[in-house]
Structure 1
Amino acid sequence: MPKRLTFLASLSLVAAMSIPLSAETTPDAGTVLARVNGEEITLGHVIVAKSVLPAQYQQLPDEVLFDAILDQLIQQTLLGQERGDQVPQRIELALQNERRSLLAAETLQEIMRTVTTEEALQQAYDAKYADGFGGDEFNASHILLNSEEEAKAVKELLDSGADFAATAKEKSTGPSGPNGGSLGWFGKGAMVPEFEAAVIGLEPGEVSEPVQTQFGWHIVKLTEKRKAEAPALEEVRGELSNEIQQQAVEDRVAELTKSGEVEKLEVEGVSPNMLSQPELLQE
């Protein structure tokens, strides 16, 4: 079921009748703009319809959108009325899911809005950077090779006393090879997960076993490790806001789950592959 309003070509059979508004009333969301066989379309319907339009339509002037959206809603109403009271099961289920989703999203927005205060941000900042430092930073080098066999052979050379930088210049296929394999200083998240895990597991001066990533096989040497200087609050405001909001949502969901009556049933004959059987939905 489409979630976005889609502009259709004008229907020649549609003749929208203008409904004059009383000059003594101030329009609000409940103000009726059209009636289609007795079914009302309000200003609120038009406003909500605009809010879910794709970005390219959102940029159009309201003067252009207003009549187009109202005409669209009239057309949709006429087409929907063709079904009478016969709502296909898949549509009814989709409406139920959409209602669930919209109400949940509204609750989430309310939770996130109320917890992200300046006081909460400052407390989160103080807790995370109380020692004046940020996360770990690493100064490392690596030798990149095409195969595990080559990587093992290079590791044996290094274990036998070969100089790491000189070996990197000779053997590494990576762009840092000519520089002795040096990658300089970097923090967590800068490297692919497998490489980062290898670096974190080393002590300064240690050389790793061969490590495979999407780029090939690496021999990694950790040269130095240090703590980064703590960033200013403004630099991490967005990050801290996300953390506060995520934690608040998780806490609220856990609280609701604990206090609510949730029963997941194991029904004989129901299996995951039924997700791919839309024919189970009755027409």
Structure 2
Amino acid sequence: MCRCRVPVILLTVAVFAAGCGVEETVVARVDGVEVHDERIQLYLERVTGTRWAEVDSRAASRLFDQFLEQETVIHALGDQSEGGEDDPVARSMLLRRFVEEVCGPPPTVSRAEIEAAVDLQMAEVVPEQVLIRQLLLWDLAEAQEVRARFDQGEEFIALSRELSRVPNAHDGGVIGWVIRGTQPDDVESQIFSLEVGQVSEPVEGPAGYHLFQVLEVRASGQVSEVVAASEARLGLESAGSREHLSRCVDQAVKRAGVVIFKENLWFDYRGRFAED
């Protein structure tokens, strides 16, 4: 058994985890730099809008992985300030900047891929759809206040840029086309009852309160070839961008090196680094 000798003159005694030399507050090491539990706890609270101790293990594992992936990118960019950048939206923006600067644009979609996707879409009958964008606010009181400001004439995109917490808030928080039957009942009851331009009542989610605005409505039926081609291209480009981002971040993770100290975590961690 390893025994760590700590000078008695120290006013604060650090308690070390297994291996001697790693404090109990250290939950990971990224590129040789220790990550302490309070940063992860604060991140969980900012993303979910709940106390860190109330976040279940599955969600905590996913967000812990997300934080560590972002941390490798921040180190690669050389943007780590005191304690690092801990705002979730800012971290997401840094990740996208890293992908653009280091890995470049995603591969272009070929004509053959688009034509194949169009053929599939033309063969289907599509349920009712709405094109929506969202605001994500911290709590119900803030969401109600923001909705009142919209009712008084303020622009949705201006409110998004000022207050929303989604990564694409600067662009208005567009989600895209949502098909009936794919969302939770409380969300669908709101968005499919709105007319174009209207904003929903606040809807509670795991990360806070959402306000949705409907930009366009499509009735159910078979889509036109023009619409199918547009959606096929957007869908393929979106999927390609996600894959490109994932590969780029994986490269950053491998270069930096990520070590977790599972014994120091307060939840049952089952994320991507569990076996590393």
Q: TM-score range with shorter-chain normalisation?
A: 0.3 to 0.5
Higher relative CO (CA 8 A, sep ≥ 6), structure 1 or 2?
Answer: 2
Larger radius of gyration: 1
